[in-house]
A and B are shown apart, each in its own frame.
Chain A
Amino acid sequence: MQLQFTPEEEAFRQELRTYFTTEIPQEIRERCEAGALNYPDDIVTTTRALNKGGYAVPHWPVEWGGQDWTPIQHHIWREEMSLNFVPDLLPFNAGMVGPVIAQFASQELKEKFLPATANLDIWWCQGFSEPEAGSDLASLKTRAVRDGDHYVINGQKTWTTLGQYADWIFCLARTDPDAKKQAGISFFLFPMDTPGVELRPIQLIDGSYEVNEVFFQDVRVPAENLVGEENLGWTIAKFLLGNERSGIARVGWTKTKVAKAKRLAAATKTPNGTLLDDPAVAGRIAALENELLALEVTQLRVVAGSADGKPNPASSLLKLHGTQLQQAATELLADIAGPDSLPVSAVDSAEEGDVADILSPEWAQLTVPAYLNYRKVTIYGGSSEVQRQIIDKAVLGL
């Protein structure tokens, strides 16, 4: 057993830290730390700066800009991004459609899309979920019918995250209505400005606007924009969702939140000292911190044990518990803010990160919107219930 990183890994970590803190603009990292990023500009700027150094898509195949890193290096990369407040890469590009195109698409599509996707010259969104098909993705109803050298798509998608900035969508549609659920689905790519595509925003409980409904009415998509073969969509979707789960524990992110909670608690005066002197508060922080350490070691065990590249069913554990701890951290921050968390900007403001101009500190005003927003993490990417189901089947054999 050995707890330390090797000197090479330590040097690698240092190299990343230096790059992240010198190449990513300071003000973007500050906005990231405060939870007040400017979309889409901050994400685009960050992605391009990372891509320049070869740090935007390290898990892609090497010929398309990936890095031949060890699992531990990938882990260090992810953690250092969080610890240095580098905004998350757009998951639809880096984590989802990129690897899918590299794995399943024609050489022509690869050349057309991969460099642009890595550099965020194209902003992708995901057209998977439907009103009647969330976690039960296979029951989706959107139809694609072949018409000469086109497919004609009709239907509706929902929960399309950051779709308002998207240039293109990757989308699942049913191409064979007679096949059984999973068998008749295909995977399409098309621009969001194709005639017949209509986007409608959904405002969330925190006032934010990050998800959308997308409607398709007789949308004509060239047949060459089908990825893989017709009716191969389910296989592709499973590949994509498998990638989505990796790195979703976000231990580094939660660590930064708990560290922030400590600093803020220590700076919050009470009649008996500070909030951090309150045994109940200190105990809650210590307990959360301890679970985070146990999860970090668990993640490292999974990472260090996955050298053969096979997905480890324990990654469901990381998603399940990692998201619980993310939620616990946002909850903690909201509770430390206490009454100062009550004021926010106009409730219907579409501007994320808006605050009321009063004495309550900005950080405090942002805590409850963040807390409410983070209820999503146990729902998306396969809900906690879906993760438990995977553990039951794949690990416990139930």
Chain B
Amino acid sequence: MEFELSEEQVMLRDTVREVLTKKYDIETLRKVTDTELGWSRDVWKSLAEIGILGLVFDEADGGTGAGPEELAPVMGEFGAAIAPEPFLDAVVVPGLLVTKTADADVRADVIGGLSSGERLAAFAHHENGDRWPHYAVATQFADGKVSGTKSLVPAGDAADILVVSARDASGAVGLYLVDAAAAGVDRTGYRTHDRRRGAQIVFTDAAATRLGSGDASSAIAEVEVVTQTALVAEAVGAMRSSLEMTTEYLKTRKQFGVTLSTFQALTHRAADMYVSLELASSISVYATAALAEGRVDPIIASRAKLQALKSARHIGQESIQMHGGIGMTAEYPIAHYASRLTAIGHTLGDADSHLQRLSASVGDWDMVTVG
């Protein structure tokens, strides 16, 4: 068994750390997330230059040919810096859907553009009233056009191309490529509580190209597992930063003439946060390694999300509490981490829904075992 990153993976992680932590102190973060775009084109360019954007795509499609074990440490750094660049939403998710369904020409075109940073994509899937793991997909495809409303499209505001899920006349769910600037595409952008961006998109007979043939449900389900695992890695990074900031605060902040670290009521709770962090970290490593071994397993993804989200709630809430009033302010970063962790908790299934999935099958196995 081996759970450590390889030397190359550590180098990759450190490079991303350099790009993101150099950039994002809290003031810069707030300045950048307050802009209309909500993230930095400069950072995006740097990420493209060091090959991060093409990380998970095959070299034949114009990517760098890395995999889950590279994606996880990179996501960890996005989490650690709460960097707002929509790497997962605008590149990884729609890009992987394209690589799993499209023919070679389309793949080369789309993936090339995503990897170089010249184009952004978004996955338009969620419709009003959808609740993970159920997707109604009422959007229709007929005569080369899609019609319907996708209510929550992460990074949908800035995307150049959209990967849209829709049903054809046979009722099968397919994926369709739509130019975001095409006639019949009407976008309403929004901000999220964690200072990200998205859009509600109404399609009215918008011209669409089908990606591949046949039902795309399994491709969507596979990419969902990859996305959940990536979100868990991001959450672990955010938790790690939260705990570091909190211990630093306990060591420096004085009350009643002594540092907070002299109060056992606080330090013992910090130790419990450490336990939560390590459990989340372990489950993230586990899910990532399983994925790297080719096991695209929704149950493993649910295991990872359940533990990570429990840990995230614990660490997010305790971080604010231990900082006291300062933890409530927008000038101080700690609550921004809690906000991001909460958003991750509400993306692709919360702790309750993942627990529900695991409970439903708990009688199917005797013991859960690693490997």
Which A residues form the contact surface with B (CB < 8 A)?
1-5, 9, 72, 255-256, 258-259, 262, 266, 276, 279, 282-283, 285-287, 289-298, 300-301, 304-305, 314, 317, 320-321, 385, 387-389, 391-392, 395-398
Contact = CB atoms under 8 A, between A and B. Distances in A.
Contacts of A293: 283, 286, 303, 307, 368, 370
A3 B370 contact: yes
A3 B359 contact: no
A6 B55 CA distance: 29
A289 B362 contact: yes
A321 B275 contact: yes
Given A4-B1, A290-B358, A300-B370, A317 B278 contact: yes
A3 B280 contact: no
Contact of A298 (B4, B261, B279, B288): B279
A285 B359 CA distance: 8
Given A283-B355, A317-B274, A4 B3 contact: no
Given A321-B279, A392-B268, A398-B247, 10 more contacts: A2-B1, A3-B370, A5-B371, A262-B363, A283-B355, A294-B282, A296-B369, A300-B1, A300-B370, A398-B251
Contact of A3 (B278, B290, B358, B362): B290
Nearest to B266: A398
14 contacts: A2-B293, A3-B289, A258-B367, A286-B355, A290-B283, A290-B306, A293-B286, A294-B280, A296-B369, A304-B2, A320-B275, A388-B272, A392-B271, A398-B250
A301 B282 contact: yes
A321 B314 CA distance: 15
A255 B303 CA distance: 16
B368 A289 contact: yes
Q: Point out which of B281, B282, B292, B356 has the most chain A C-beta atoms below 10 A from its C-beta.
A: B282
Given A287-B306, A290-B306, A294-B283, A1 B69 contact: yes
For the complex of A and B, 3 pairs with smallest distance between CB atoms: A388-B271, A297-B282, A1-B289
A297 B367 CA distance: 14
Given A255-B367, A289-B362, A289-B368, A2 B289 contact: yes
A197 to B, nearest CB: 38
A44 B40 CA distance: 69
Interface of B: 1-5, 69, 243, 247, 250-251, 261, 264, 267-268, 270-272, 274-275, 278-283, 285-286, 288-290, 292-293, 303, 306-307, 355-356, 358-360, 362-363, 366-371
Given A300-B3, A300-B370, A283 B359 contact: yes
A383 B275 CA distance: 16
B278 A388 contact: no
Contact of A304 (B3, B271, B356, B363): B3
A297 B289 CA distance: 11
A300 B2 CA distance: 9
A1 B3 contact: yes
Nearest to A324: B275
A276 B362 CA distance: 8
Contacts of B289: 1-3
Given A3-B290, A290-B307, A300-B3, A285 B362 contact: yes
Contact of A292 (B268, B280, B363, B368): B368
A258 B251 CA distance: 40
A291 B279 contact: yes
A260 to B, nearest CB: 10
Contacts of A385: 268
Contacts of A9: 1
B283 A297 contact: yes
Contacts of A256: 367
A296 B307 CA distance: 13
Nearest to B351: A287
A4 B251 CA distance: 41
B281 to A, nearest CB: 8
A294 B279 contact: yes
B367 A398 contact: no
Nearest to A79: B369
Contacts of A283: 355-356, 359
A320 to B, nearest CB: 6
A259 B251 CA distance: 43
A398 B286 contact: no
Contacts of B280: 294
Given A3-B371, A266-B363, A388-B268, A297 B356 contact: no
A276 B279 contact: no
Nearest to B358: A286
Nearest to B364: A262
Nearest to A283: B359
A301 B3 contact: yes
B31 to A, nearest CB: 31
Nearest to B280: A294
A294 B268 CA distance: 21
Contacts of A292: 368
A290 B282 CA distance: 12
A314 B277 CA distance: 12
